[in-house]
Amino acid sequence: MSDKKPLLSFNDVHVEVEGKEVVRGVTLTINAGETHAIMGPNGSGKSSLSQALMGHPSYAITRGEAFLKGESILDMDPDERSRAGLFLAFQYPLAIPGVTVANFMRSALQSHRGKDADMSDFRKLFKAEMNALGIDHVFATRYLNEGFSGGEKKRIEILQMAMLQPSVAILDETDSGLDIDALKTVAEGINRFHNDNNGILLVTHYQRLLNYVKPDYVHVMKAGHLVKSGGPELALELEDRGYDWVVGEEENQKVEV
């Protein structure tokens, strides 16, 4: 991994929510071309880590450091982190009444490119990405996520990622609430986005997304810590054995040391 280009790296990150520490010293580096998956049970701190890295004000990084392409992001506002190349697909995307999908996407893209950027290619790009994700063009004129199903919301998240082309995409439980057809479509969108110049951090409970988006590395998070890391075979073992064996194994190793 050392000969690859680091895109997102964070060291000894601690996160507090309403005065409670929920992430307790997490260290990870995502290099160009890599896909990492963080798995773990509910309440392990996976989504809190994702929100904190993106700059959500309710999730305070109280200790540690985080860099995107070598530049510290801790003093950046969320919009600055986004323009710098960091993207977060939410577990529960919010509806924005009064703002159409097309206007939202256009505004987001223009914010990334700069206010004086040429946007003449927007319509062509927008339609092409909608077609690739199997999104009916009628959604362009609907208000963002208002009345959308879970699968429709997740497709719109992946559409935004495809339009913005971030350096690193954090996908927070993108598979939740998806039926098998929607899961395959979303996975195809993720795979089409991924290349040797960007990185992906998948946050998930289950192996099923990893059947379609193959991770290079799998990490297990428990009680705010990364307790085990491995290759894609680790996800299969977790699916078969659950999470308790990992924690027990780590505790036994600590006792032996």
Q: What is the pLDDT of residues 164-180, one digit of tens each?
A: 999 999 999 998 888 89
Q: Please compute the mean of the pLDDT values over residues 134-157 and round it to a whole number.
A: 95
Residues 236/71, Cβ–Cβ less than 8 Å: no
197 three-class SS: coil
Residue with tokens 């977790």: 238
Q: Please compute the mean of the pLDDT values over residues 50-78 and round it to a whole number.
A: 97
Closest CA to 157 of 101, 81, 219: 101
Q: Please compute the mean of the pLDDT values over residues 37-47 and round it to a whole number.
A: 93
Cα distances (angstroms) measured from residue 133 to each of 31, 75, 163, 201: 26, 35, 12, 20
Q: What is the pLDDT of residues 12-33, one digit of tens each?
A: 999 999 999 999 999 999 999 9
Residue boundaries of the structural domains of the chain: 6-91+166-256
Cα–Cα distance between 71 and 226 in angstroms, integer? Answer: 24
Q: What is the CATH number of domain 6-91+166-256?
A: 3.40.50.300
Residue 19: exposed, middle, or buried by beta-carbon count in 10 A (0-12, 13-18, 19+)? exposed
Alpha helix ranges (H) inside the chain: 46-54, 78-84, 101-113, 122-132, 150-164, 180-193, 232-241, 244-256
Q: What is the pLDDT of residues 215-254, one digit of tens each?
A: 999 999 999 999 999 999 999 999 888 888 876 555 434 3
Q: Tell me the percentage of the chain whose pLDDT exceeds 70.
A: 95
> Residue 253's pLDDT is what?
41
Cα–Cα distance between 19 and 120 in angstroms, integer? Answer: 47
> Residue 248's pLDDT is what?
55
Q: Please compute the mean of the pLDDT values over residues 37-44 and round it to a whole number.
A: 93
Cα–Cα distance between 254 and 232 in angstroms, integer? Answer: 24
* More confident site: 249 or 115: 115
Residues pairing with 54 in the sheet: none
> Residue 1's pLDDT is what?
42
